[in-house]
A = this chain, B = another copy of it.
Amino acid sequence: MIQTEDEQKSDPGSNNIVALQEVVTFLEKGAFADADATLDELDSSTRLLVLSRLPAHLRRLLIESVDLEDAAEYLQDIPEVQALRLLEGIEPAKAADILEELPKDEQADFVGELSEQLQASILSEMPAEDAAEVRELIDYDDEEAGGIMVVRYVAVDESETVSGVINQLQQNAGEYSDFEVQYVYVVGSDPQTKGKLNGVLRLRDLLLSPGKTRIADLMIRNPLSVSVHAPLKDLHNFFDEYAFVGVPVVDSGSKLVGVLRRADVEEAMGEQYAEDYLKSQGIVNEELRTMPLLLRSRRRLAWLTINIVLNMIAASVIAFYQDTLTQVIAIAVFLPIISDMSGCCGNQAVAVSMRELSLGLVKSNELMRVWFKEIAVGLINGFALGLLIALVAMVWKGNPWLGIVVGLAMMINSVIAVSLGGTLPLVMRLLKLDPALASGPILTTVTDMCGFFLVLSCATLVLDKLV
């Protein structure tokens, strides 16, 4: 996904951002401290604009020269694609140092997107233990608990007391950033249960109990947890059911390995649905206009060329009916309309199916149910659209047969389009294919072919009435 060409050196339309010019000037003459100070003074939205529009080589200079903490922060601020290209551009040792400022799960998110070779070089620059942890996190799928969880949490031994835990919190106050400590997780202490999740302790309970209370007596036993391999949809349902802000994640041996936060699951769900739909429309979600021209072109072209080939296959149906078309040239006006409208009808159905699938409101084996539901809508809407287009055709040419041909074709094709659009995402899911990527192109190609075939073959049948 990530290309290594350099970004354009200048961004001519950005002249109205004064700060960008300043930072560029400072960086070009090596005044890194001044550049950093200028950035520090900006409000966050302007800083984002400036950072994201710096020429890539200057962004690299900047991140190499500021202190590690600032560098890590900039890395998080800028769009992910830019961050990844930065990491590819700097020395692996430096990249490792900057990444080490971030929590392990975020390290894994970044490193996991790099080439395997670069992953290995960066990880080899980290302390072995850290590298092993990051490597483990990289292996989880993005759409399972392990890929979404955070690994910063407070775990204590069940043999502890309240005052012992408070001491521990106090000593590590710096490390535990305030927003992570909402629950304290209690793990087993004897050899058999070591590391296993035994309970959850609410900060409030800790706050309101005498210091000598044993944690084992205070904790909530048998707490709910999710498996590290639980898929995103199940996690979403979990948080729907329980008003928790987070839930512990355990591996197959019931050992505590991370914490899953509601916010992260909700974000992942929202992103998944939006991205799936955009993907089905050939839209590369992560494109930015600061990317190099050829990269943007190539990414968009990848989908456009597939699409134009499919379009040509569909349009080849028209070529078979050239004789009919020459005699009833008015039909040529209706071909693009039928093609476009069928696509719209079908895409509406695709979107509803994808949403119902992602919300868990439909099971992928309920093909017949979805089909029945779509046929009904297709008949009504097809009738309405068909009638409209038939009337226009009749009024325009004064020939009722022309109206019947295009109206009937529009109607039948609407039913085909919604039937296909509604069921394709379910079929894709059953076949373990990505519902998003394949549904759109298959749908429009098939509905175009059917639409062209319907209108032209009907016209051929009643050709003597049309000419």
Residues on A close to B: CB < 8 A? 11-14, 16, 44-45, 48-49, 52, 77, 79, 166, 169-170, 173, 176-179, 181-182, 202-204, 206-208, 233-234, 237-238, 240-241, 243-245, 261-263, 266-267, 269-271, 273-274, 277-278, 281-285, 287-290, 293-294, 296-297, 300-301, 303-305, 307-308, 311-312, 314-316, 318-319, 322, 325-326, 329-330, 332-337, 339-341, 343-345, 347-348, 351-352, 355-356, 359-363, 365-366, 368-370, 372-373, 376-377, 380-381, 384-385, 388-389, 392, 396, 444, 448, 452
Contact = CB atoms under 8 A, between A and B. Distances in A.
B293 A376 contact: yes
B336 A297 contact: no
Contacts of A307: 340-341, 344
B336 A311 contact: yes
Contacts of A179: 182, 243-245
Contacts of A332: 318, 322, 325, 332, 335
Contact of A304 (B262, B344, B392): B344
B267 A360 contact: no
Given A77-B240, A311-B336, 15 more contacts: A44-B240, A44-B241, A52-B361, A169-B208, A173-B208, A178-B204, A263-B263, A278-B351, A285-B351, A297-B380, A301-B381, A304-B384, A329-B329, A332-B332, A336-B339
A355 B307 CA distance: 23
A334 B337 CA distance: 14
Contacts of A173: 204, 208
A377 B296 contact: yes
18 contacts: A44-B237, A48-B360, A49-B363, A77-B241, A178-B202, A181-B203, A261-B263, A263-B263, A263-B267, A277-B278, A283-B351, A293-B376, A294-B380, A300-B345, A308-B385, A311-B336, A332-B335, A336-B448
B315 A333 contact: yes
Given A179-B182, A329-B322, A304 B345 contact: yes
A102 B316 CA distance: 59
Contacts of A233: 45
B347 A283 contact: yes
B372 A13 contact: yes
A410 to B, nearest CB: 9
Q: Give the top 4 A-B pairs by smallest Cβ distance, nearest first.
A: A13-B369, A270-B270, A263-B263, A274-B274
A307 B207 CA distance: 62
A355 B81 CA distance: 14
B278 A370 contact: no
A339 B345 CA distance: 17
B348 A300 contact: yes
Contacts of A311: 336-337, 340-341
Contacts of A289: 352, 356, 361-362, 369-370, 373
Contacts of A337: 308, 311-312, 315
A233 B45 CA distance: 9
A281 B440 CA distance: 13
A234 to B, nearest CB: 7
A301 B270 contact: no
A44 to B, nearest CB: 4
A182 B179 CA distance: 8
Contacts of A308: 337, 341, 385, 388-389
B243 A177 contact: yes
A281 B340 CA distance: 12
Nearest to A335: B336
A132 B312 CA distance: 62
A319 B333 contact: yes
B267 A79 contact: no
A115 to B, nearest CB: 25
Contact of A207 (B52, B169, B273, B304): B169
A287 to B, nearest CB: 5
Given A325-B332, A361-B288, A169 B204 contact: yes
